[in-house]
Amino acid sequence: MSLFVKEKKFYKSFFTLTFIIALQNLVAFSVNLADSIMLGAYSELSLSGAAVSNQIQFLLQMVVNGIVGGLVVIASQYWGKKQITPIKKIFAVAFWLASGMSFMLAVLAFFIPEGLMGLLTNEAAVIKEGSQYLKIICFSYVMFAITHVILGVFRSVETVKIGFWVSLTALFINISLNYVLIYGRFGLPAMGIRGAAIATLIARFFELALVVCYAVFIDKKLLLRFKDILRVEMVFLMDFKRTGLPTVLSATSWGIAMAVQGAILGRLGASTIAASSIATTIFQVAIVVAGGSSNSSNVIIGKAVGHGHLDTVKQYAKTLQILFLFIGVGTSLALYAGKLFILDFYHISAETEALAGRFIIVLCITVIGTSYQMPALTGIGAGGGDTKFVLFNDIVFMWCIVLPVSMLSAFVFKWPVIVTFTCLKSDQILKCAVAVFK
């Protein structure tokens, strides 16, 4: 069996889906990057406050991504059989799960923002600043969840362009309002971190409005209507439980682990918080192609499984893994080349800038692992229906190895911050061995 698939249709489908989803992710993450850069220009304290509070948003994002991932795995297989009604039924399950989880987190964020912030850092000034951001941004949580569930069901039927245009519109709105509200332009007072939160909230509202309008008035594949979410059928709830629940648990576990990582770094000083925020935000933008390849692989493999073409699935998997490695090396080189250029946009202390630069060097290495193991496990593996393995893998590496070692590094041995940061990111390399074996 050849290492490379010979069908032109395969490459066209992979690169088209990857490119469009990567663009969508790039624009979506650029909203966070814009907040990071514009708040960094306003004050380092505001940057740190938003960074810590956004770890709660990241937890929500991971939970929603897990729900959407389960939706895409199941719906893609139905799409392979050209069965539309079951896709709508699975969509209803995902809709209510995502809405319910986001609502509960929003309630907690609104009523006990200081309590949540206190779990992530012991810096009093950062807690106070971030709580202002959190009490406003929490109103966007449900809108964010619904938007991404709708975009997820469209992605499962290979409708992906709408996600890019919606994210691009949100980015334009967010940057424009950031300029006005953070710095106080056109006669308005400078609102700092609160202005950034209001800008993002308004951008999320327009995101949701555009997606709903597209679903109701433009889309011709699914023809989603309000009545489609009114009833959740037990057979499809159980279908989601079997295949989708491990994906949700894996993503939730990952989100909580990221919050714990943030809490570890959040107790190593304000400069560490700011530097980690900058490096992580840049990294999220850098891996958009890897994320796109993961999502496109999920759809391609899921569709092939739906057709029952298992030999084709094996051939696709071999070729995809080679493509993932090329993407990883290219991303690493791009991240290293753009490091100094991006850091110049921030108005931060020399200590923070130097630390952020060292963090990015570490990420230049780990991004190669991320670009391979993430799409191999969550794209090929989960797309083929083996979502339980992904959950088991995340639990073992993150909770049994990475977090305990990192805590020892930070609080027992008191090793330099860069060593602790490297320990926190080491799973991205370690998982590659498992991904190859799988």
Mean pLDDT of 200-229: 88
Burial of 436 per CB tally in 10 Å (0-12, 13-18, 19+) = exposed
pLDDT at residue 80, rounded to an integer: 77
pLDDT confidence of residue 108: 93
Least confident of 55-64, 138-147, 175-184: 55-64
327: tokens are 């993407």
% of the chain with per-residue pLDDT over 90:
19
In this prediction, residue 12 has a pLDDT band, given cuts at 50, 70 and 90, of confident
pTM of this structure = 0.76
CA 435 to CA 418: how far, in whole Å?
Answer: 27
- The better pLDDT of the pair 185, 389 is held by 185
In this structure, of 210-214, 263-267, 315-319, the range with the lowest mean pLDDT score is 315-319
Tokens representing residue 197 in the block:
């939160």
Residue 208 forms part of a structural domain: yes
pLDDT value at 1 more than 60: no
Separation in Å, CA 149 to CA 74, 91, 143: 13, 8, 10
Closest CA to 289 of 166, 375, 389, 199: 375
pLDDT band at 199 (very low <50, low <70, confident <90, very high): very high
Task: Report whether 77 contacts 306 (CB < 8 A).
Answer: yes
* pLDDT band at residue 176 under the 50/70/90 scheme: very high
Least confident of 106-110, 129-133, 210-214: 129-133
CA nearest to 402, candidates 272, 269, 261: 261
Residue 149: band (very low, low, confident or very high) from pLDDT cuts 50, 70, 90: very high
Q: Share the mean pLDDT of the chain.
A: 83
- What pLDDT was estimated at residue 282? 75
Query: Do residues 112 and 140 touch, judged by C-beta distance below 8 A?
Result: no
Residues spanned by the domain of 258: 8-437
The tokens for 168 are 């691009």
Taking 90 as the threshold, does the pLDDT of residue 141 lie above it? yes
- At residue 403, does pLDDT exceed 80? yes
pLDDT at 383: 55
Q: Does 2 map to a domain?
A: no
Mean pLDDT of 106-131: 87
State the average pLDDT over residues 144-155.
91
State the Cα–Cα distance between residues 87 and 303, nearest whole angstrom.
13
pLDDT of residue 103: 95
Which among 25-39, 99-113, 338-352 has the top mean pLDDT? 99-113
Specify the number of domains making up the chain. 1
Residue 244: inside a domain: yes
Q: Is residue 1 included in any domain, yes or no?
A: no
Asked, for residue 3, whether it belongs to a domain, the answer is: no
Out of 64-68, 258-262, 310-314, least confident range:
310-314
Lowest mean pLDDT among 92-96, 174-178, 301-305, 419-423: 301-305
pLDDT of the residue at 409: 93
For residue 270, tell me if it sits in a domain.
yes
110 pLDDT more than 90: yes
Pick 415 or 53 by higher pLDDT. Answer: 415
